Structure 1
Amino acid sequence: MYEALFEISGGVAYEDATQGTDAKIELWCNDHCDLLHVGNDANEAVRGEIEAAVGVRDTITEGSEYVVVTDECLKPHTQDNVETHLAATECLLLPPLRYERGAKLCRVFALDPANLTAFYREINERYRVTVRSKRETTTIDREHPLLSLHSAIPTLSDRQREAIVAAHEAGYYAIPRGTTTTELGTELGIDRRTFEEHLRRAENKLLGALVERLYG
């Protein structure tokens, strides 16, 4: 089996709400309604777009994240859904759909890599598409079937990703440390306190995801 992660933008539902923010939406379709997990400090624009698109039946809130049960399924309210191209190219979609940074992320599987190429060609005629990754799936973890690195790693903002990559490359996590947060902040053109905030947020997200996998 072959897997590809596609980033799709342009006329995709919920992309405007996540554009320019760290907000992330995960969607599980149930035909009559959708189950959404909305996280990463989602703003009111996200809630407003969901309400306007399909209505909100119920919401469970925990801190800056919440779970939404919608009144209706999103698919009938959108034209030329990406999903309509799956059957034509004999591909499979693995939920949830993810929306972040103004785009929709789809994990698509096929028995033949040529089918993934056909799917890409079809949607690329209608949307702006980037292939994030493509690989052959040879093993399946019983506890986490079809788990990929992309589904295990949380979404970081551009600044958070920049901060933690810079820290790693400069030896901040080496023993002894090869640099300081003051030096790293100067390198990125920001003050020490701002750099440390980006770094700690990135560390918190990554560690949280790791601990969840260890105990999941």
Structure 2
Amino acid sequence: MYEAVFHVGGEGPYERATAAGATRIELWCNDHCDLLYVAGDEEDLVLDHIREAVGIRRHISDGDDRLIVTSACLKQHGEEYIERYLAAHDCLSLPPLRYENGSKVVRVLALDAGDLTALYRDVASDHPVTVESKRELATPRADTPLLSTDALLPTLSPRQREVYRTAHERGYFELPRETTTAEIAAAVGVERRTAEHHLRRAEKKLADALVDSL
């Protein structure tokens, strides 16, 4: 059994919405509609793309995060979807489907390495594709589910990830601290209060996820 993560370029509405690199969309397909999680700094622009492409039935927001139920399934509004490639090569996608930096990010499971290779070649004949990772999986057991660290960790917005990573790299979490929030803000090009907001949001999400797994 094999698992791979592909970044697939395209011209779909969600690829266009995330092309600036400041927003991330995660999609769970329900056939008649989609459930979307949107995080980032350009949510209004992304909402316009979603509303134009499939419509918005309901949505709720919490700071930088937004949960959306669409009016229709994205697959009903075009042919730029990955499922037809997966079906042709006996491969499966492990949700959610992710959109970031103008590409869809697909986590794929295949029982045979040849199927995975054929899938890559088929998709690459129509779209630009890069491989983020590939690994062989041992026979799954009940106590070792098919989960990556991405599936276990909370979803941070691109800006939250940038600020948190910068803080970690510069020693913000060391004892004693080796940097300040003002220096972190300058490094990522935002105001100090903005950096502190993103850092607090990231810390809370990570702490909540850790407590839930204890």
Same fold by TM (over 0.5)?
A: yes
Which residue is equivalent to 2:158?
Answer: 157
C-alpha contact (below 8 Å) 1:141/1:147 kept by paired residues: no
Deviation at 1:52, TM superposition (A): 0.7
Secondary structure of the structure 2 residue equivalent to 1:58:
strand
Secondary structure of the structure 2 residue equivalent to 1:79:
coil
C-alpha contact (below 8 Å) 1:89/1:118 kept by paired residues: yes
Q: 1:44 to 1:189 in 2, by over 3 A?
A: closer
Please, which runs of 5 or more residues in structure 2 have no aligned partner?
A: none
Which residue is equivalent to 1:54?
Answer: 54
Of the structure 1 ranges 21-30 and 1-10, higher mean CA displacement relative to structure 2 is found in 21-30
Which residue is equivalent to 1:18?
Answer: 18
The residue identity in structure 1 corresponding to 2:209 is: E
Secondary structure of the structure 2 residue equivalent to 1:123:
helix
C-alpha contact (below 8 Å) 2:39/2:158 kept by paired residues: no
1:82-103 per-position Cα deviation (integer Å, ceiling 9, x unaligned): 2111111111011111112222
What is the TM-score of this pair, normalised by structure 2?
0.79
What is the TM-score of this pair, normalised by structure 1?
0.78
Which residue is equivalent to 1:205?
Answer: 202
Q: 1:45 & 1:110 partners in 2: Cα distance?
A: 36
Deviation at 1:4, TM superposition (A): 0.8
Identity over aligned pairs, percent:
40
Q: 1:186 to 1:202 in 2, by over 3 A?
A: closer
User: How many residues get paired?
Assistant: 212
Q: 2:19 & 2:184 partners in 1: Cα distance?
A: 26
Q: 1:116 to 1:198 in 2, by over 3 A?
A: farther
Q: 2:48 & 2:129 partners in 1: Cα distance?
A: 26
C-alpha contact (below 8 Å) 1:33/1:71 kept by paired residues: yes
C-alpha contact (below 8 Å) 1:42/1:64 kept by paired residues: no
RMSD: 3.3
Deviation at 1:137, TM superposition (A): 2.8
C-alpha contact (below 8 Å) 1:156/1:202 kept by paired residues: no
Secondary structure of the structure 2 residue equivalent to 1:49:
helix
Matched, 1:124 2:145: no
Deviation at 1:41, TM superposition (A): 4.3
Deviation at 1:29, TM superposition (A): 1.2
Deviation at 1:171, TM superposition (A): 4.8
Deviation at 1:184, TM superposition (A): 6.2
Deviation at 1:107, TM superposition (A): 0.8
1:188-203 to 2 correspondence within 5 Å? Answer: 188=187, 194=192, 198=195, 201-202=198-199
The residue identity in structure 2 corresponding to 1:211 is: D
C-alpha contact (below 8 Å) 1:26/1:98 kept by paired residues: yes
The residue identity in structure 2 corresponding to 1:39 is: A
1:107-146 per-position Cα deviation (integer Å, ceiling 9, x unaligned): 1100112221211111112112111111223376868942
Matched, 1:103 2:100: no
Deviation at 1:44, TM superposition (A): 1.2
Please, which runs of 5 or more residues in structure 1 have no aligned partner?
A: none
Secondary structure of the structure 2 residue equivalent to 1:57:
strand
